[in-house]
Structures are given as structure tokens and as C-alpha cells.
């Protein structure tokens, strides 16, 4: 791609959906077919329907074109071709996202990375692996396991989700309390920027010079470019893992046990909490045999060197008992551990047994605000008559309230939506966040204004404009009021010479 064949703004190939002309999809497809291997470009309507949504099926849109690149070069070609023809594009991994972050555009290209599944290198000496974006999360661990290593981020979709998708969403998992999110496990990446250029972000060295754009790119939900290779950190498998299940009469008591554990300086690999309604649902679905009559259960998992884990496990048992646990079970082996996790892992699906429909909400609060927020959710629920089951990563305050409703009852889904939104307001009010790990995508753009000031959002949009001035890279996601770059309002505007019409030609 050279600078000369870029269409000028205002021509019929004008790139942006906010632009003055429509995207030249036809020309784009012709060029893609000429440049890519046979079978890489899909335009058959029936086949395209496969890709109309990701894991959040309430948002649907059939893409105009699907491209299945086999390597980084083909990604660069695809993106450059889109750029040249003013066609917006969206990248998709395995399509397991829960915020419609990979929702296609009907006038655009969907770049699907499912053919890019090579693990390019496993470098045990330096504790890292290099993978293509389509590689399945769990396959990284499978490749590292023979050496006694694993890849830490473990979203519950890890058997099917892709590492590229993990990068886009900055995925966490049950163990992110101790191990952090994807951003803590990516050392460097090769990305194709929205104009088709290939750049390296990060590097082998920690604290590299220049700007750390790795962190900005991870979690940017596909709006800054397409990743083509990812160097991830591998961790040594812990010497010992121990898991306990504690039954409490209330979430307040369970919450106090969590605070006691954290205040003692213990960092468990995971602390999960379930409330009465979600326990009942799990019990009905998978007969996990959780303590009878529990108003809340805690699952606490510790891992690390044997000596440390055994010592700390005794302490954690004690904190649970002191805070009112009426039953504490320790998993004696892998089978018992799996049984303890079974109830938690099935919780979302299990709720389907007790309610025809439900919304999986995803918010975050400071851990210490947990009791207060739970009380307020209970009040909301009582007032509205909408049932809410609560499942959470209690250690880091990531709530997954499940808002139950029956869509066959008139007005029920609207009331559920309202309660669901009010829960997010509670999270923001308590200094938390509108999403813990599922992302903003297309689904939560409407809530961004509740959390960020216009100045905060403008600052992010300036960065988006730095990468994607034409607004062609996953447009419509993350930002509630995406604008043409240069049209971001507010106090920054006047001070931004390039944003002031007519000034740029003096540069």
C-alpha cells in the first residue's frame, strides 16, 4: 500500500459510515479476491449468517463480507484493502464475547481469525509463547503443560475462546484475583493498524522505552487494529492447589469472611461467592450438593508452593469459621475439587432452570462496598418484583447479577432491563465500573456516559483518532457518541490545531 492510492475524503470511496459517501464494498471484494487465496473471501448470504452475532445474540447484523486470513500478511492485505475502499471492518475470534464487541457491520468486512491457529513458539527458558490470534485459550496451556507451565487467563469460555479475543476484551477469569487479566500476561504483540501498517507493541524487555501502547491496545475491543501475533507469559504450574467450600447463612457473613481473608494479607487464586437464589438454581441443575440451608457459599482456592498453601489454607478455614461459616469442606482430591467448582461453573446456565429468560449483568465495585451494594440490589429487587440471583468474583468485587424475567409477560423484559441498568448505576455510584470482564462492545455504549466525563471520553477518542482517523475499525463500539475525528467537542477542541478546520494545512 502506498500513500498515493489512498482515496481522498469526499470521494465515493469515503471510508466512514459518518462520511459523505458510501463504502465501496464491491471494489473491496474484487480486490480481496484478487489478493487472497481461494475460499478466503465469503459473500454467500447463507454462509454469512453464521457470523451475524457473537455470544450476545440480542444484537444481530449480517456482514457484507467475511474474510478468513491464514497469516499476518493476509490480515495486513485485508485491512489495507478495506482502508483503500473506505469499508469498515470488524475482527472476530471465536465469537464468544458477551457485549456484542464482534457484532459485524452490514456494510463492512468481518475479519475472522479462525484459520490463524498456529502456536509459533514455546520458549520455556524465557517463560513465554508466541501464538496467532485464533489460537484457542486452552491450547496455549496444553502446549505448555508438558514443561510444567500454563497460560493464566481462564475465562469460563476457555475451551473455545481465542487469545486474540482475550486481547480485545482483556479477559479475566475466576483466577484473575491473584493472576490478573490478559493485560498482565501479554509481553508483546504484532498488530495491523487500521491503515494496514504492521507495528510491534511491547517487547521482550520489561519497562521498554517509549509509550506503553500494549496496555492501551489490550482491552480496546478491536477499535485500534487487528492483532496478528501475541507473545504471552507462561507461568509455572503451582506445586499445590487447595480448594474449600464454606456455607454461610447470609451474604453479609460471607462478605465479612472475604474481607478477613484479604485483610490478613492472603491472596487466594480465586474467591467466588454465590447467593441463595443462584445456589438453588445450581442445585436444581447439577446437584452439586452445596451445604443445605446456605444463604451464601464461598469457594476459596489457594495455589503456590506446598509449604505456603498448607499453612495458609488452615488460616482461611479459620477465618471462614470465625465469620460464621456453619460448614467448611476441603477438597481431598481432584474429583472433589471438580464437584465444588461444578455448581459455580454451571450457575449461569442453571438459572435457565428457574427462569425462562435472564440478563447476565457484569459490574464492578470496590470489595469493601459489597455488603452495601448487595443490600441495595435486594431492595431494587423487592421494589420492582424482579428476581436477581448473584454470582461474583468476590475477591475483586466483580459482580454478575443475573436478572430474571419471563419475556412472555408484557412489560417484564423492560422492567428487567431497568433493574439491570439500575444495578450498573449502583456500581458507578460506589466508585466501580459498568463492566468487569465482558466489555462495552455495542451493548454498553449507552452506559459509558454514566461512568466517564465528556473530557475523559474525549481523551480516549483522541487516541482512537490517532490509530483510526477514518473511523473504520470496529466503529460503533465502546464510545457512546463516536464522532468524526476532529469533531470531538469540549475544552480540548480549540486547543487541537488539527481539529480546527482549516488549520491543518499550515503543518
Instruction: Show contacts with its own copies in window 442-471 (CB under 8 A).
Output: 444, 448, 451-453, 455-460, 462-467, 469-470
Position 301 contacts its own copies (CB under 8 A): no
CA distance 24 to 30: 10
The DSSP code for 58 is: T
Among 146, 210, 385, 411, interactor with its own copies by CB under 8 A: 210
Position 161 contacts its own copies (CB under 8 A): no
For the segment 316-355, give every residue that binds its own copies (CB under 8 A): none
Position 59 contacts its own copies (CB under 8 A): no
> Nearest approach, Cβ of 86 to its own copies (angstroms)?
11
> Do residues 74 and 196 lie in contact, with contact meaning Cβ atoms separated by under 8 Å?
no
Among 120, 145, 307, 382, interactor with its own copies by CB under 8 A: 307
Exposure string over 94-122, b if 16+ CB within 10 A, otherwise e: bbbbbbbbbbbbebbbbbbbbbbbebeeb
Position 440 contacts its own copies (CB under 8 A): yes
Rg (CA), the chain: 24
CA distance 59 to 478: 15
Position 145 contacts its own copies (CB under 8 A): no
Among 165, 173, 196, 343, interactor with its own copies by CB under 8 A: 196
Among 388, 437, 475, 476, interactor with its own copies by CB under 8 A: 437
Contacts of 375 (CB under 8 A, 6+ apart): none
Among 432, 475, 476, 482, interactor with its own copies by CB under 8 A: 432
Which listed range, 39-47, 188-196, 293-301, 352-360, lies at the site for its own copies (CB under 8 A)? 188-196
Which listed range, 55-63, 131-139, 194-202, 378-386, lies at the site for its own copies (CB under 8 A)? 194-202
Residues forming beta bridges with residue 230, ordered by sequence position: 131, 189
Among 211, 385, 408, 410, interactor with its own copies by CB under 8 A: 211
Position 166 contacts its own copies (CB under 8 A): no
| Cβ atoms within 10 Å, residue 497 | 10
The continuous run of DSSP H or E covering 428 comes out as helix 412-429
Residues forming beta bridges with residue 226, ordered by sequence position: 192
Exposure string over 415-448, b if 16+ CB within 10 A, otherwise e: ebeebbbbbbbbbbebebbbbbbbbbbbbbbebb
Which listed range, 273-281, 284-292, 400-408, 435-443, lies at the site for its own copies (CB under 8 A)? 435-443
Position 502 contacts its own copies (CB under 8 A): yes
C-alpha distances out from residue 463 to 109, 210, 451, 457, Å: 23, 16, 19, 10
Tell me phi and psi for residue 234, to 5 degrees.
-105, 140
Q: What is the total count of residues that contact its own copies (CB under 8 A)? A: 119
Residues forming beta bridges with residue 400, ordered by sequence position: 391
Which listed range, 38-46, 268-276, 366-374, 407-415, lies at the site for its own copies (CB under 8 A)? 366-374
In three-state secondary structure terms, 312 is helix
Residues forming beta bridges with residue 272, ordered by sequence position: 299, 393
Position 120 contacts its own copies (CB under 8 A): no
For the segment 389-428, give every residue that binds its own copies (CB under 8 A): 396-397, 427
Among 142, 236, 375, 383, interactor with its own copies by CB under 8 A: 236
Among 34, 38, 58, 205, interactor with its own copies by CB under 8 A: 205
Position 284 contacts its own copies (CB under 8 A): no
Which listed range, 29-37, 38-46, 258-266, 319-327, lies at the site for its own copies (CB under 8 A)? 258-266
Which pairing describes strands 89-92 and 109-112: parallel, antiparallel, or unpaired?
parallel
Amino acid at each position: 500500500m502506498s500513500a498515493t492510492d489512498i482515496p481522498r475524503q469526499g470521494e465515493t470511496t469515503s471510508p466512514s459510515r459518518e462520511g459523505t459517501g458510501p463504502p465501496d464494498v464491491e471494489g473491496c471484494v474484487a480486490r480481496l479476491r484478487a489478493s487472497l487465496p481461494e475460499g478466503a473471501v465469503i459473500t454467500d448470504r447463507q454462509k454469512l449468517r453464521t457470523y451475524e452475532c457473537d455470544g450476545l445474540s440480542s444484537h444481530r447484523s449480517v456482514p457484507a463480507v467475511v474474510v478468513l486470513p491464514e497469516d499476518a500478511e493476509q490480515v495486513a492485505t485485508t485491512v489495507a484493502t478495506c482502508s483503500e475502499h473506505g469499508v469498515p471492518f470488524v475482527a472476530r475470534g471465536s465469537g464468544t464475547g458477551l457485549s456484542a464487541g464482534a457484532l459485524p457491520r452490514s456494510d463492512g468486512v468481518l475479519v475472522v481469525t479462525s484459520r490463524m491457529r498456529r502456536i509459533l513458539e514455546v520458549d520455556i527458558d524465557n517463560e513465554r509463547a508466541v501464538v496467532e490470534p485464533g489460537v484457542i485459550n486452552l491450547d496455549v496451556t496444553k502446549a505448555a503443560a508438558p514443561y510444567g507451565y500454563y497460560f493464566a487467563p481462564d475465562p469460563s469460555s476457555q475451551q473455545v475462546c481465542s487469545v486474540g479475543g482475550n486481547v480485545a476484551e482483556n479477559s479475566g477469569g475466576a483466577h484473575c484475583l491473584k493472576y490478573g487479566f490478559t493485560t498482565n500476561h501479554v509481553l508483546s504483540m504484532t498488530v495491523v493498524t487500521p491503515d494496514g501498517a504492521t507495528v510491534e507493541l511491547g517487547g521482550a524487555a520489561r519497562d521498554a522505552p517509549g509509550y506503553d501502547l500494549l496496555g492501551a491496545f489490550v482491552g480496546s475491543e478491536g477499535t485500534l487494529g487487528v492483532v496478528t501475533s501475541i507473545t504471552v507469559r507462561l507461568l509455572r504450574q503451582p506445586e499445590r492447589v487447595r480448594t474449600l467450600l464454606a456455607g454461610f447463612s447470609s451474604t453479609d457473613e460471607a462478605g465479612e469472611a472475604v474481607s478477613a481473608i484479604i485483610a490478613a494479607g492472603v491472596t487466594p487464586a480465586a474467591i467466588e461467592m454465590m447467593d441463595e437464589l443462584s445456589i438453588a438454581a445450581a442445585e436444581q441443575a447439577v446437584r452439586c450438593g452445596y451445604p443445605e440451608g446456605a444463604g451464601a457459599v464461598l469457594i476459596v482456592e489457594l495455589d503456590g508452593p506446598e509449604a505456603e498453601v498448607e499453612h495458609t489454607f488452615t488460616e482461611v478455614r479459620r477465618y471462614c469459621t470465625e465469620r460464621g461459616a456453619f460448614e467448611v469442606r476441603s477438597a481431598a482430591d481432584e474429583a472433589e475439587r471438580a464437584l465444588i467448582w461444578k455448581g459455580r461453573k454451571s450457575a449461569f446456565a442453571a438459572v435457565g432452570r428457574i427462569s425462562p429468560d435472564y440478563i447476565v449483568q457484569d459490574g464492578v465495585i470496590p470489595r469493601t462496598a459489597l455488603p452495601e451494594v448487595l443490600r441495595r440490589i435486594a431492595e431494587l429487587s423487592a421494589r420492582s418484583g424482579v428476581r436477581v440471583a448473584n454470582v461474583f468474583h468476590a475477591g475483586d468485587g466483580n459482580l454478575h447479577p443475573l436478572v430474571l424475567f419471563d419475556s412472555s409477560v408484557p412489560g417484564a423484559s423492560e422492567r428487567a432491563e431497568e433493574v439491570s441498568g439500575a444495578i450498573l448505576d449502583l456500581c458507578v455510584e460506589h466508585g466501580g465500573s459498568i463492566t468487569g470482564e465482558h466489555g462495552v462492545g455495542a451493548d454498553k455504549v449507552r452506559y459509558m456516559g454514566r461512568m466517564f466525563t465528556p473530557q475523559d471520553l474525549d481523551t480516549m477518542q483522541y487516541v482512537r483518532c490517532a490509530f483510526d482517523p477514518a473511523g473504520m475499525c470496529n466503529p460503533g463500539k465502546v464510545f457512546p457518541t463516536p464522532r468524526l475525528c476532529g469533531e470531538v467537542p469540549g475544552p480540548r477542541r480549540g486547543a487541537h490545531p488539527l481539529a480546527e478546520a482549516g488549520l491543518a494545512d499550515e503543518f
